[in-house]
Amino acid sequence: MKLRNIVIGMAFICQCSHTQAQKTPTGLKDHFKNYFTVGVAVSPQALKTDEAGLIVKEFNSMTPENAMKMGPIHPSENQYNWAGGDSIAAFAKRNGLKLRGHCLCWHNQTPRWLFIDSVTGKQVTKEVLLQRLKDHITTVVSRYKGTVYAWDVVNEAISDKKDEYMRPSLWYQICGEEFIEKAFRWAHEADPNALLFYNDYNEIDLVKREKIIRMIKDLKAKGVPISGVGLQGHWAINEPSKGQLDSTLKDFSSLGLNMQITELDISVYPKEHNARERQATDVDTSFSTEKEQKQIDVYKTCFELFKKYKKNISSVTFWNISDRHSWLDNFPVRGRKDYPLLFDAQLKPKKAYWEITKSESNK
Ligand code: G3I
């Protein structure tokens, strides 16, 4: 009788712990806990929807998709718009997620006043522009000091053209290369504990990769406080190849800096770099089995290699939450639906999710 009771008791305990394990919420952050943090780019609006629950379950890092960029956060010279950034920062704090800041200096999404002298209406001088950059960086980084652990300080300063080094942005035209170095130094002064990143895209292209590496080496040689390099990771069903991505991660690892994948998504259309009009051939916008399989293959390659370089990669962030909304719905073709993420529009994990996490859940 006693033995029978013990057996029943043991069975009950086993059942309970099994149920407990099933109930324990596991998300991407848990699957990859031995490798890197897993982040997601968000808008303040998304945090008020059912996507908020998904964020907390799956991710342990966040990046504001637009709210902390210069245009949205600093719309006129003496006016900052903190509402969006603050609500994202509060959500991250409340739910124990890390927060990446994006981005302090970029040629895109700049406010109209930035490059113009309000009195003469002419372009500002280098001195004025650098002073404006300093004020911006000091104010924004100080506000989020202790909350934002890593900043994309300079975004996309390198040219995509083979025979051109720096992008000929207004920053570059007015200040030369100096704005890059200065931006890092001022960010460091405002928050000496924050990790400071140079962030760019298409590093799988060997020419662009070499230019980025050259710039980072120059900055390091000058003692500029740069902590790491952000590889955005806006890829597609036809790239990167395994060899391309492996050599990219290897080359950046050799810099000995922190490396993060900052804006990952895999478009279900072949990669195009420039915006274009919609054409007759763009009619098929379904998420077909063929597109799904190709996307799974690229996601698998990416995560296999991210894990291989886990010593160097500290974080992988997805650019948007689910296929409900992605910036790729409007790029390169406005209004062409894309499905680049791991969750579908109903917030259900896609097959790609299960494929990249399955080897982890068996450990
Ligand atoms: O907020 C305005 C709204 O007031 C206005 O009515 C509406 C009309 O078009 O536009 C809204 O702004 C849009 C903004 O996203 C917020 O939704 C801009 O037009 C639109 O251009 C902007 O796009 C963002 C894009 O950067 C700007 O270049 C995307 O959301 C954002 O995902 C994307 O993110 C960038 C990274 O920061 C850097 N790396 C590349 C990545 C993808 O382009």
pLDDT in tens, 171-194: 999 999 999 999 999 999 999 999
Separation of CA 90 from chain center: 19
List 127, 156, 178, 272, catalytic entry = 156
Helix, strand and coil content of the chain, in percent to the nearest 5, comes to 45, 20, 40
CB atoms under 10 Å from CB of 157, counted, come to 24
Which among 267, 327, 331 is the best mutation to test ligand 1's pocket, defined by most ligand atoms within 8 Å of the CB? 327
Distance between CA atoms of residues 138 and 171, nearest Å: 18
Instruction: Record the tokens describing residue 351, joined without a space.
Output: 């097959």
10 pLDDT above the threshold of 80: no
293 pLDDT above the threshold of 90: yes
Distance between CA atoms of residues 80 and 49, nearest Å: 26
263 is catalytic: yes
> What pLDDT, on a 0 to 100 scale, did the predictor assign at position 65?
98
Give per-residue pLDDT as tens, 336-352: 999 999 999 999 999 99
| Bridge partners of residue 22, in order along the sequence | none
> What pLDDT, on a 0 to 100 scale, did the predictor assign at position 101?
99
Q: Determine if ligand 1 sits within 6 Å of the CB of residue 43.
A: no
17 pLDDT above the threshold of 60: no
20 pLDDT above the threshold of 80: no
Give per-residue pLDDT as tens, 211-261: 999 999 999 999 999 999 999 999 999 999 999 999 999 999 999 999 999
Task: Identify the residue whose tokens are 């299960």.
Answer: 354
Which among 63, 66, 73 is the best mutation to test ligand 1's pocket, defined by most ligand atoms within 8 Å of the CB? 66
Helix or strand or coil: residue 216?
helix
pTM over 0.85: yes
Contact status, residue 205 vs residue 235, Cβ threshold 8 Å: no
363 CA distance to ligand 1 centroid (A)? 40
Task: Identify the residue whose tokens are 């920053």.
Answer: 171
Give per-residue pLDDT as tens, 136-169: 999 999 999 999 999 999 999 999 999 999 999 9
Classify burial at 193, counting beta carbons within 10 Å of its beta carbon; exposed 0-12, middle 13-18, buried 19 or more.
exposed
Distance between CA atoms of residues 240 and 140, nearest Å: 35
Average pLDDT, the chain: 93
> What pLDDT, on a 0 to 100 scale, did the predictor assign at position 226?
98
Contact status, residue 191 vs residue 141, Cβ threshold 8 Å: yes
Distance between CA atoms of residues 118 and 310, nearest Å: 49
Q: Determine if ligand 1 sits within 6 Å of the CB of residue 108.
A: yes
51 is catalytic: no
> What pLDDT, on a 0 to 100 scale, did the predictor assign at position 24?
52
Structure confidence at residue 84 as a pLDDT band (50, 70, 90): very high
| Bridge partners of residue 236, in order along the sequence | 239, 267
Structure confidence at residue 359 as a pLDDT band (50, 70, 90): confident
Closest to 46 in 3D by CA, of 1, 16, 95, 91: 91
Q: Whose CA is nearest to atom 3 of ligand 1?
A: 72
Q: Which atom of ligand 1 sits closest to the CA of residue 155? A: 38
155 CA distance to ligand 1 centroid (A)? 15
List C-alpha distances in Å: 235 to 26, 97, 105, 308, 341: 26, 25, 23, 19, 11
